[in-house]
Amino acid sequence: MNAHELWTVVHGMGFGFLFLLGFTGALYGIYVMKPEWMTTEGANANVRNIQIFLWVLTAATWLAVFSGAYIVYPWYRATPPEGTVDLTMFPKFHLLANENTAFWHEFGMEWKEHIAFVVQFAATMVAYMAQYYGAALTKKPEVRRYVMIFFAIAFAAAGVAGVLGAFITKAAAVH
Amino acid sequence: MTKQTSERPNGPVAAAMLAGGIGAAVLGVATLLVEIVGDAVKKPLTWNKAVGALSGKSGLGIIAFLVSWAVLYFILKDKETKFEQMAAIALAGLGIGLLFTFPPFWHLLAGG
């Protein structure tokens, strides 16, 4: 695996996967913060772990997006020299050269590269809200509801970016 | 006497929510403008040649997110806001960001 391929793995399977995998646990941790389910001691013990977990997941989204946009994406969209026949090393142009695969750039990458940035805004909102209220989230069902809504939006957007990234890599990997 | 967490005003949280919505909306609007207007917007938003106009579109979104958060925090930090209203506005901003970055929407607006 060369450096380009390694960074592609770090971006998607490292940072991106960390967020997608960690989402369910963090969401459940917020969901169970109901006063009828938790003692004060339980809420205080639980919330610290949730806060740390959410900030780690938020950091993962920022790292995923920036490693994608500023490290992997330039390699993806690099322009081949005039007269290049084998476009394998130029994924964007490799996809566009064939009408059967052009969709993966014109829809797939165009959507993926933009929707990913919404993830970090939503995730940061969630982490801050949990940080600010802490154990008081048990007494704020309306805040908890919106924390979960924003978090679900972040997850859905990240899921779109992740799935499209997987398919694009399958069709035209960065080498 | 230390204020109990449950008595804290919700202004700072409202600021964070609104900032998230604003950042997403700015990203969406910048993206849509590039698609509809073309080079006149695309070139000034190419802040990094290797990344292309994505650098400017995302950069504007991130700047809008951070600046609006700072400003709104300063304005709202000691205030109690209508939480549901602030959350709805934030959701609307996220919705604009999601919709305006969806390629078929560009084609719909472009009539193609």
B16·A139 Cβ contact <8 A: no
Nearest by CB to A117, which of B61, B102, B103?
B61
Average pLDDT over residues A116-120: 96
Q: Is residue B4 part of a domain?
A: no
The secondary structure of residue B45, as a DSSP letter, is T
What confidence score (pLDDT) does residue A115 get? 96
CB proximity under 8 Å: A 94-113 to B: 106-107, 110-111, 113
Confidence check: pLDDT of A44 > 50? yes
Q: Is B34 on the interface with A (CB under 8 A)?
A: no
CB of B73 within 8 Å of a chain A CB? The answer is: no
CB A146 within 8 A of CB A70: no
B20 occurs within a structural domain: yes
Q: Using CA atoms, how far apart are residues B91 and A16, in angstroms rounded to an integer?
A: 23
- pTM to 2 decimals? 0.92
Contacts of B17 in chain A (CB under 8 A): 125, 129, 146, 150
pLDDT digits (tens, 9 = 90+) for A45-96: 889 999 999 999 999 999 999 999 999 999 999 999 999 888 888 999 999 9
Question: Is B63 inside any structural domain?
Answer: yes
Instruction: Give the residue with greater pLDDT, B81 vs A86.
Output: B81
In this predicted model, what pLDDT tens digit does every residue of A62-75 receive, in sequence order? 999 999 999 999 99
B73-102 mean pLDDT: 96
Structure tokens at A172: 């035209």
Q: Is the pLDDT of residue B112 over 70?
A: no
pLDDT at A174: 85
> Is pLDDT at B3 greater than 50 in this prediction?
no
Determine the pLDDT at residue B95.
Answer: 97
pLDDT at A150 > cutoff 60: yes
pLDDT at residue B72, rounded to an integer: 98
Whether residue B66 lies inside any domain: the answer is yes
Average pLDDT, integer, range A140-168: 95
Q: Which among A133, A140, A153 has CB closest to B94?
A: A153
Q: With respect to residue B2, please indicate whether it lies within any of the assigned structural domains.
A: no
Give me the residues paired with residue B52 across strands: B48
Q: B57, B65 in Cβ contact below 8 A?
A: no
B94 and A115 within 8 Å at the Cβ level: the answer is no
Q: Does A28 touch chain B (CB under 8 A)?
A: no
Q: Check CB contact of A121 with chain B, cutoff 8 Å.
A: yes
CB distance from A130 to chain B under 8 Å?
no
Q: Does residue B1 belong to any structural domain of this protein?
A: no
Contact B52 A146 (CB under 8 A): no
B92 token code pair: 């609307």
CA Rg value for chain A: 20
- Check residue B110 and give its pLDDT: 76
Set of chain B residues whose Cβ sits within 8 Å of the Cβ of A106: 103
Average pLDDT over chain B, rounded to an integer: 92
Domain of B102, in residue numbers: 10-110
Residue B3 lies in a domain: no
Segment B78-91 mean pLDDT? 96
What's the pLDDT score for residue B1? 39
Structural domains in chain B (count): 1
What are the structure tokens assigned to A145, written together?
């509801």
Chain A residues close to B32, C-beta within 8 Å = none
Query: For the residues B5-20, what does the mean pLDDT come to?
Result: 89
**What is the total residue count of chain B?**
112
Sign of CA dihedral B3, B5, B6, B7: positive
* pLDDT given at position A45: 87
| Model confidence pLDDT, tens digit, residues B28-63 | 999 999 999 999 999 999 999 999 999 999 999 999
